[in-house]
């Protein structure tokens, strides 16, 4: 059966299969810092929401999916009282933020029991990069399940002098499935090995919402791929899209693009100059490998319509010319590299017999709580070659310290391109450079197909 909003990637009509008109685009509530501080409470709890007219039970922050959008600036202090009303252990990770990974900050080793509260405190350095970030649980073993059920939200670190646009939108994209009774579907062992994907691909918790604009308006879209496993291959045919950056990295120049590929965890900062007409934001099929003869993810052959973009009415006055990024991104050059290492991502072995399925490993082992796997020295600039001996792509994520792409599957990356989730293609490799500067501490790196993380593809790193 084809889910509402699903297409084979060629039909851009955008009509849900049930013919319903769809919902109006809206965004979660915004919590903005002021005077250098943001104080907020965030409760994670089961909640009932309406999706495309159907009442369903999800997990949400502050009663909805996504949770509130946090808007902060470099130099801010964030105090966040987290309440765990899930009935299961959880915690909170601020994905991509360059803050301490220890103490009460972005510490993924902190676990908050059911019914517990925890006071997180984050300090953004005065030189923290602007960009699009996000938050989600990081409880090893149930990360995928909790995130898939709705626990995610966006964080924007504003620029000191923001670009002049007519409208800014935050689009948090995530997939989800429900069973007949309206509960979030549970994944089989095999679906977890593939990386679970949902029947519905939602934008801000909405199925195929409509966004309205006037011709000539300039919009800035902050897009988060909060899908547990699905790669997004975004198109907006008939409209001009310019990519300002991926993750925290702002490119030196905006790039005209037809498609934007966002791995799970990646974010895009996009300019859209609205042209009269009706367009559909789509995700097209993407081949992220397979489990051989056992099967492939559905997204290899199935895309989805995500949102309608309806541009009509009187033309808007033209907006100010686009300013270049205020600071040129730093280039980590070969001669600065102080150390090199190779990591190997693999799937294999039937840990615990057929029923347990495959182990997902980094350098031959699955995550172990008490073990530290990598110990770069503070101040080092390392070059990592991350190899993938498996038949599936793995989006590789390192906390705290961004990675500059050097080479993807043999193709050199010439312009500075810094991300916190990088592609490691099946049977291929990626080369990245990382500056372990500014922040020290112990945290993790892992596959951001979060089922793979839960199945073991994670390691611990300490920088001291």
Binding residues for ligand C2O restricted to 226-285, rule: CB under 6 A: 265
Single residue of 72, 76, 84, 95 touching ligand C2O by CB under 6 A? 95
CB 383 within 8 A of CB 422: no
Burial profile 18-41: b = 16 or more Cβ within 10 angstroms, e = fewer: eeeebbebebbeebebeeeebeee
CA separation for the pair 177, 188 (Å, rounded): 13
Residue 429 binds which entry of ligand C2O, Cu ion, none, CB below 5-8 Å type-dependent: none
Residue 92 binds which entry of ligand C2O, Cu ion, none, CB below 5-8 Å type-dependent: none
| Other Cβ atoms within 10 Å of 276 Cβ, number | 14
Q: Report how many helices (DSSP H) and strands (DSSP E) the chain contains, helices first.
A: 3, 32
- Least Å distance between CB 192 and Cu ion? 11
Binding residues for Cu ion restricted to 383-422, rule: CB under 5 A: 394
Our CB check for ligand C2O shows the closer of 284 and 463 to be 463
CB 165 within 8 A of CB 271: yes
| Other Cβ atoms within 10 Å of 54 Cβ, number | 11
Closest CA to 149 of 104, 186, 180: 186
Single residue of 449, 450, 461, 463 touching Cu ion by CB under 5 A? 449
In terms of C-beta density within 10 A (0-12 exposed, 13-18 middle, 19 or more buried), how is residue 407 classed? middle
Single residue of 128, 235, 399, 433 touching ligand C2O by CB under 6 A? 399
- Least Å distance between CB 305 and Cu ion? 26
Q: Which two tokens stand for residue 58?
A: 């999800």
Residue 230 binds which entry of ligand C2O, Cu ion, none, CB below 5-8 Å type-dependent: none
Q: Which two tokens stand for residue 115?
A: 């019914």
φ and ψ of 251, to 5 deg: -70, 160
Residue 433 binds which entry of ligand C2O, Cu ion, none, CB below 5-8 Å type-dependent: none
Single residue of 452, 454, 458, 459 touching Cu ion by CB under 5 A? 452
CB 72 within 8 A of CB 33: yes
Residue 399 binds which entry of ligand C2O, Cu ion, none, CB below 5-8 Å type-dependent: ligand C2O
| Other Cβ atoms within 10 Å of 188 Cβ, number | 11
- Least Å distance between CB 458 and Cu ion? 10
Residue 95 binds which entry of ligand C2O, Cu ion, none, CB below 5-8 Å type-dependent: ligand C2O
Our CB check for ligand C2O shows the closer of 396 and 436 to be 396
Our CB check for ligand C2O shows the closer of 138 and 242 to be 138
Q: Does 93 bind ligand C2O (CB under 6 A)?
A: yes
Our CB check for Cu ion shows the closer of 132 and 194 to be 194
Burial profile 334-350: b = 16 or more Cβ within 10 angstroms, e = fewer: eeebeeeeebbbbbeee
- The residue to which tokens 């299969």 are assigned: 17
CB 117 within 8 A of CB 81: yes
Residue 447 binds which entry of ligand C2O, Cu ion, none, CB below 5-8 Å type-dependent: Cu ion
Q: Does 459 bind ligand C2O (CB under 6 A)?
A: no
CA separation for the pair 420, 217 (Å, rounded): 31
- The Cα-based distances of 320 to 166, 220, 274 in angstroms read 10, 13, 15
Interface stretch with ligand C2O, choices 43-51, 185-193, 387-395, 442-450 (CB under 6 A): 442-450
Write the interaction track for ligand C2O spanning residues 124-153; mark x where CB under 6 A is met and - where it is not. Answer: ------------x-x---------------
Interface stretch with Cu ion, choices 287-295, 376-384, 413-421, 449-457 (CB under 5 A): 449-457
CA separation for the pair 159, 71 (Å, rounded): 11
CB 418 within 8 A of CB 406: no
Our CB check for ligand C2O shows the closer of 51 and 246 to be 246
Residue 397 binds which entry of Cu ion, ligand C2O, none, CB below 5-8 Å type-dependent: ligand C2O
- The residue to which tokens 């899930």 are assigned: 86
Our CB check for ligand C2O shows the closer of 3 and 174 to be 174
CB 288 within 8 A of CB 392: yes
- Least Å distance between CB 283 and ligand C2O? 19
Tell me the site size for ligand C2O, rule CB under 6 A.
Answer: 10
Q: Which two tokens stand for residue 353?
A: 């017999």
The upper half-sphere exposure of residue 231, i.e. CA atoms within 13 Å in the direction of its Cβ, equals 28
- Least Å distance between CB 460 and Cu ion? 17
Single residue of 397, 418, 429, 433 touching ligand C2O by CB under 6 A? 397
Q: Which residue is nearest to ligand C2O (CB)?
A: 95
Q: Does 447 bind Cu ion (CB under 5 A)?
A: yes
Task: Summarize as ranges the residues that interact with ligand C2O (CB under 6 A).
Answer: 93, 95, 136, 138, 265, 397, 399, 444, 446, 448
Binding region for Cu ion (CB under 5 A): 394, 447, 449, 452
């Amino acid at each position: 059966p084809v889910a509402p909003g699903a297409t084979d990637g060629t039909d851009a009509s955008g009509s849900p299969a049930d013919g319903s008109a769809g919902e109006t685009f809206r965004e979660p509530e915004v919590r903005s810092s002021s005077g250098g501080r943001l104080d907020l409470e965030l409760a994670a709890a089961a909640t009932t929401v309406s999706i495309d007219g159907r009442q369903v039970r999800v997990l949400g922050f502050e009663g909805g999916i996504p949770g509130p959008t946090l808007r902060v600036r470099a130099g801010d202090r964030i105090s966040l009282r987290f309440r765990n009303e899930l009935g299961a252990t959880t915690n909170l990770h601020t994905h991509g933020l360059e803050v301490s990974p220890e103490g009460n900050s972005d510490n993924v080793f902190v676990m908050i029991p059911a019914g517990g509260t925890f006071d997180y405190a984050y300090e953004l350095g005065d030189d923290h990069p602007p960009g699009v970030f996000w938050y989600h649980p990081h409880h090893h073993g149930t990360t995928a399940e909790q995130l898939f059920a709705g626990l995610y939200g966006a964080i924007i670190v504003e620029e000191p002098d923001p670009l002049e646009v007519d409208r800014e939108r935050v689009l948090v994209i995530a997939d989800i499935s429900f069973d007949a009774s309206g509960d979030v579907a549970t994944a089989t062992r095999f679906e977890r090995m593939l990386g679970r994907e949902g029947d519905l691909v939602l934008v801000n918790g909405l199925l195929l919402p409509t966004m309205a604009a006037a011709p000539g308006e300039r919009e800035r879209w902050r897009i988060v791929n909060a899908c547990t496993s699905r790669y997004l291959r975004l198109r907006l045919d008939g409209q001009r899209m310019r990519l300002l950056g991926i993750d925290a990295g702002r490119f030196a120049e905006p790039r005209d693009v037809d498609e934007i590929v966002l791995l799970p965890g990646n974010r895009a900062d996009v300019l859209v100059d609205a042209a009269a007409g009706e367009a559909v934001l789509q995700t097209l099929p993407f081949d992220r490998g397979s489990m051989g003869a056992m099967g492939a993810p559905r997204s290899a052959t199935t895309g989805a319509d995500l949102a309608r973009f309806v541009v009509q009415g009187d033309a808007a006055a033209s907006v100010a010319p686009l300013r270049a990024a205020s600071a040129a991104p730093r280039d980590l050059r070969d001669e600065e590299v102080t150390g090199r290492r190779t990591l190997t991502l693999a799937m294999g072995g039937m840990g615990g017999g057929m029923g347990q399925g495959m182990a997902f490993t980094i350098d031959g082992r699955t995550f172990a709580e008490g073990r530290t796997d990598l110990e770069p020295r503070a101040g080092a600039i390392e070059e990592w070659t991350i190899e993938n001996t498996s038949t599936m792509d793995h989006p590789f994520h390192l906390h705290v310290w961004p990675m500059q792409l050097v080479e993807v599957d043999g193709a050199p990356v010439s312009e500075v391109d810094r991300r916190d989730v990088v592609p490691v293609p099946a049977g291929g490799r990626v080369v990245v450079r990382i500056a372990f500067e500014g922040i020290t501490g112990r945290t993790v790196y892992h596959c951001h197909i979060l089922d793979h993380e839960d199945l073991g593809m994670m390691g611990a790193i300490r920088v001291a």
